[in-house]
Amino acid sequence: MITIERLREKKAFISDMDGVIYHGNKILPGAKEFVEWLQRENKKFLFLTNSSERSPQELQDKLKRMGLNVDKAHFYTSALATAEFLSTQRPNGSAFVVGDAGLINALYNKGFTMNDINPDYVVIGESKSYNLDVLIKAVNLVKKGAKLIGTNPDITGPVEGGIMPATGALTAPIEMATNKKAYYVGKPNPLIMRHAMKTLGSKREETAIVGDRMDTDILAGIESEIETALVLSGVTAENEVDNYAYRPHIILNGVGDIATPLK
Q: Structural domain boundaries of the chain? A: 4-50+187-259, 79-184
Q: Is 47 helix (H, G, I), strand (E, B) or coil?
A: strand
**Is the Cβ–Cβ distance between 154 and 167 less than 8 Å?**
yes
CATH superfamily, domain 79-184, is HAD superfamily/HAD-like (3.40.50.1000)
- 16 annotated active-site: yes
Please list, residue by residue across 130-145, b when 16 or more beta carbons sit within 10 angstroms of its beta carbon and e when fewer do.
beeebbeebbebbeee
Identified catalytic residue from 16, 100, 212, 217: 16
Dihedral of alpha carbons 157, 98, 171, 55, sign: negative
152 φ/ψ sector (left φ>0, alpha ψ -120 to 50, else beta): beta
Closest CA to 147 of 178, 126, 122, 112: 122
Q: CATH 3.40.50.2000: does it fit domain 4-50+187-259?
A: no
173, β-bridge pairs: none
Q: CA-CA distance, 103 to 107, in Å (whole number)? A: 6
What is the value of pTM for the model shown?
A: 0.92
Active site residue 18: yes
Q: Tens digit of pLDDT per residue, the chain (263 long)? A: 899 999 999 999 999 999 999 988 889 999 999 999 999 999 999 999 999 999 999 999 999 999 999 999 999 999 999 999 999 999 999 999 999 999 999 999 999 999 999 999 999 999 988 999 999 999 999 999 999 999 999 998 766 667 788 999 999 999 999 999 999 999 999 999 999 999 999 999 999 999 999 999 999 999 999 999 999 998 899 999 999 999 999 999 999 999 986 55
Question: Who's near 92: CB < 8 A, 6+ residues apart?
Answer: 111, 112, 113
Domains 4-50+187-259 and 79-184 share a fold: yes
